[in-house]
Amino acid sequence: MIKPAISFTTIMITCMSVSWSQMVPEPRATEVWGKEPLKITPSNNGGAPSDAIILDHASWESVNGGANKWTNDNGVMTVNPGTKDIRTKKSFGDVQLHVEWRIPILDAKFVDQDRGNSGVFLQQFYEVQVLDSYENKTYNNGQTGSLYKQHIPLVNATKPAMEWQSYDIIYTAPRFSKNGTVISQARMTVLHNGVLIQNNVSLTGPTVYIGAPSYEAHGNLPIYLQDHDHKVSYRNIWVREL
């Protein structure tokens, strides 16, 4: 008995099935096994993870050179007015930075920018403002959580004076070409007391008080804390290099 010939349709379906099976990759083709992330130990309640650099009192020096002259009380650093800003002894580029800060109780005569003023500067030049903005009016791009005179915070998450507050900052340093032109601007994300207030915003240059900012090429630089003549306190500062 002669077997019936295989139909053209059957042949086409078989060929299409073979071709389709060859086109669909195996799941393992998109699995990456050779770049395992470093295992670290996280911490709770703002504590430093195991790969963080702890920035205690000894990690800082005066911007004038020499020892850190801010007071140190059981791990709490407080501005010693008139001793100037302090800077980390180590320089940084891209970082995750955690800072806790506290505004002192001040007389009602201190208002606007003259009320608990300080600041956290990434790479020496780029400021996240520290101020008593709980019940204190000032210009919006100069209040607590502003990237000073560049970006207004999305919300005001300030606590009253004498309560500890926190900043968690993700900072991407600017990139420059060999001839000093800007390839990409500095960028920051900031959480204030756990609330997102700056969402991956770009900076048009370093922080300036008067006029428009403009970039000058630089590499890694220290983190600064500002002495603005008020006894603002800091504690539990740590940084992760990214």
pLDDT tens track for 44-65: 877 899 999 999 999 999 999 8
Q: Are 71 and 80 in contact (CB under 8 A)?
A: yes
Tell me the CA distances in angstroms from 59 to 75, 89, 101, one per residue in order.
12, 6, 17
- Return d(Cα 79, Cα 76) in angstroms, integer: 10
Q: What is the mean pLDDT of residues 116-126?
A: 98
Q: Which residues, including other chains, have CB under 8 Å from residue 12's CB and lie 6 or more apart?
A: none
Assign 28 a pLDDT band (cuts: 50, 70, 90).
confident
Sequence letter at residue 19 = S
Task: Specify whether the CB–CB gap between 166 and 193 falls below 8 A.
Answer: yes
Contact 138, 144 (CB under 8 A): no
In the predicted structure, residue 14 carries a pLDDT above the cut 60:
no
pTM, entire model: 0.88
Task: Provide the CA 115 distance to its chain's centre, in angstroms.
Answer: 24
Query: What are the structural domains of the chain?
Result: 53-241 (2.60.120.560)
C-alpha distances in angstroms, 195 versus 94, 113, 235?
21, 23, 19
